[in-house]
Amino acid sequence: MKPKIFVSFDYEHDKHYKFLLEAWNANKEFDLVFDDYSSEEINSNNIGRIKAALTNKIKESTHVLVISGGHTNTPHRNRSLIGHVNWINFESYQAVSYKKRIAVIKINFLSQIPTTLVGAKYSTANSFTHQNIINAINQAPFIF
């Protein structure tokens, strides 16, 4: 059974990594196969509506894959309404709250994990490669 993966990432800075995941998933030559439960861009300025939509997508998923880049913990201008420093941290918090299997893919070795994952259980990959991502997804711990 294919994992149902919600991908958490910084759209402004790291969307090309998400697009690469989608391309690998669509290409039969690659072993990366998953159902993408990520949210399409939510056309709303209502933070509550965005939070609800993201939470529903995370609840429907089996895994949350966090693409961790240079802006993973950069404060968002609406952080007080989001309730976390930014959307990645909100999504990571929801993943922990709903006991999802979490894999963190660092774009490079220096990338930070979301602060909301400190103390949580997750697998990690220290570079964004096809095999590292497959391994991190498969090794993401079950949370009970």
Angle 87-97/47-60 helices, nearest 10 degrees? 40
Given a cut of 80, whether residue 43 has pLDDT beyond it is no
Give per-residue pLDDT as tens, 82-95. 999 999 999 999 99
Query: Could you give the CA distance from residue 140 to residue 43 in angstroms, rounded to a whole number?
Result: 31
The sheet carrying 101-106 orders its strands as 35-36, 4-8, 63-68, 101-106, 123-125
CA-CA-CA-CA torsion for 35, 2, 64, 21, nearest 10 degrees? -60
Query: Could you give the CA distance from residue 68 to residue 73 in angstroms, rounded to a whole number?
Result: 9
Give per-residue pLDDT as tens, 3-21. 999 999 999 999 999 999 9
Pairing of strands 4-8, 35-36: parallel
For the whole model, what pTM was predicted? 0.93
